[in-house]
Amino acid sequence: MCNVTVVYKLAKKYIQVYCNFMKVLPVTFGIKNQFSANSLKLHNTNISARFTADNTCDTFTLNNNSINFNGNIPNFITGKNDLKKLAKNGHLSCIWCGGSMFMQSELDAFQHFSKRLASNSELFARVMMHFKDYLPAERIQLIKQISHYNKAYPNQNLKFIFNKMTPAAEKKLIRKQFFIMHKLKKLKPQLPIELHKDFDILMEHSKYRILGIPYVSEYSGKEFYYQLSNLSKTLPAPIKEEILDMAQILTHPIFKEAGGGLPEKWLKRFYKQTKIAPNSKGNYISPSDKNAKDKVKLLVLNKIIEITNTNSPAVTKLCNLTKNKVSGKPVSVQFSNKAFTFKLHEIIDNLQDKALIEKFNNIISKLPTSLGNKEAFIVKYKNEPTDTIISKLLADSLVTLEHITPILRNTSDKELKTRNKDLVKSARIKRGTDNIGNWALAHSWCNCLHGSKNIKNEKFPFSKEAGIKYFRTLVQDVNNGLLSGESVINMAKNYFEQTGIRIKLKGMKYTHE
């Protein structure tokens, strides 16, 4: 039996089992089989769930959106995890776009069988399109592009097709990135003259990164700490805490001071904090050594590699790259929107002209991202293993808890007061609360797109119909005893304040929490 036939039969078995779990109509793998959008939607049937006594009800069964309770008066959902369970089987869709959302368990199961199917990219693309209701528009376009390449390269695996797509994707992405850089350069004359040199260096180095040209890259302790924080999210908590404590040393103000030496007292505290033995070979640093600061940086980076061991190759790669930066060796660094934005704000954040800062922010917000641009996705993950590519393709479809009115974790009260100073009362920024009256369910990508942006009235970037559909389902859940009417009324109030869209909770029975 040929390999393709084996893969097709395996795929059919997996999809039938998975679709039964997800309550999706099974796929027929005929070559000429056509699927309508309606036939592929998840159906809200036969959902069963059991909650603990301190969460909601003892047991409930949802069948065609009709919930029947066994027991006495149920407790309302008040917890984040219990609210997320309402996304199961597409019962509650994303408040912003109206698409279905994966529960974590569903996502894990889908990823498991998708990895098996990736040995044949044609089949992989067809199966992925079966779940297009879960995916953002750019992901669907990417999968269609994979399917298009399958015609030129039949019976190839996903990684092979990805590599074939990369050259064209890089060209398109570079054109878009250079267009944004050109617009930023036009703002340079408005910057104070003393910032021109730093701005020119950032633009020049960004060009090297975009084109993949090795260069003697600038070192930044803060940038390293930021990148390490992102990479360490999946590490065990004790390891994550230890390496971030180490990296925090590299952000010490002493490294910004003139000269290469370091005070003896500071070095003693350094050895004590890091538990690095100064008497071991290569560890001793003299306070008068002109390269003392660079040697400390290298010791810290080596210590981080030692702590992570083999737990994170990505962390090891970042540390080795940073060691080359410290040593002044040419390195090839992939362009990163976040790193570029971070460095640009180091230059412009102290400007008195807030309108100019806003101009810069508006332009850099247009940089292509792996979330909203398929070329950026291909280039970002071109060197990653197949498992990572699949994981990233699906990750943004995960259900997340959204704060309808952002709680602004990274904005201080003082900063909020400054931002509201010149705004009329109706336009002032309000800090949201962290309770069920301000919670909603949204795709990971929609949650990210919302962020803390102003999305009211004409700036609303999402689907009005999605919000109406979302609250219509909540009304049913209130009437079936899952949620309190008071909570849903507060959700609708916050939704109106954020979007300017008034929601009618027609037919809802009012209940207190």
For residue 371, what pLDDT is reported? 82
- State which of 16-25, 69-78, 128-137, 160-169 shows the largest mean pLDDT: 160-169
pLDDT of residue 380 exceeding 50, the answer is yes
One-letter amino acid of 25: L
Contacts of 421 (CB under 8 A, 6+ apart): none
The whole-angstrom separation of Cα 260 and Cα 265 is 15
The whole-angstrom separation of Cα 471 and Cα 463 is 13
What's the distance, CA 5 to chain centroid? Answer: 37
| 44-82 tens-digit pLDDT | 333 233 222 233 332 233 333 333 334 444 588 989 999
Asked if 42 and 450 count as a contact pair (C-beta separation under 8 A), the reply is no
- Residue whose C-alpha is closest to residue 501's, from 399, 404, 408: 404
**What is the average pLDDT across 15-27?**
46
Break the chain into its structural domains and give their ranges. Answer: 221-331
* pTM over cut 0.85: no
Q: Considering the chain, what percentage of its residues have pLDDT values greater than 70?
A: 84
One-letter amino acid of 273: Q
pLDDT of residue 401 exceeding 90, the answer is yes
| 168-189 tens-digit pLDDT | 999 999 999 999 999 999 999 9
Asked if 77 and 483 count as a contact pair (C-beta separation under 8 A), the reply is yes
User: In the structure, what pLDDT confidence band is assigned to residue 24 with cuts at 50, 70 and 90?
Assistant: very low
Q: Considering the chain, what percentage of its residues have pLDDT values greater than 90?
A: 48
For residue 3, what pLDDT is reported? 52
**What is the average pLDDT across 355-360?**
92
The whole-angstrom separation of Cα 291 and Cα 354 is 39
Beta strands, E only, 79-192? none
Residue located via tokens 């809802």: 508
| 314-337 tens-digit pLDDT | 899 999 999 999 999 998 888 989
| 246-303 tens-digit pLDDT | 999 999 999 988 888 899 999 999 999 998 988 888 889 998 899 999 999 999 999 9
The whole-angstrom separation of Cα 194 and Cα 9 is 67
- Residue whose C-alpha is closest to residue 124's, from 99, 89, 155: 155
User: In the structure, what pLDDT confidence band is assigned to residue 22 with cuts at 50, 70 and 90?
Assistant: low
The whole-angstrom separation of Cα 432 and Cα 404 is 8
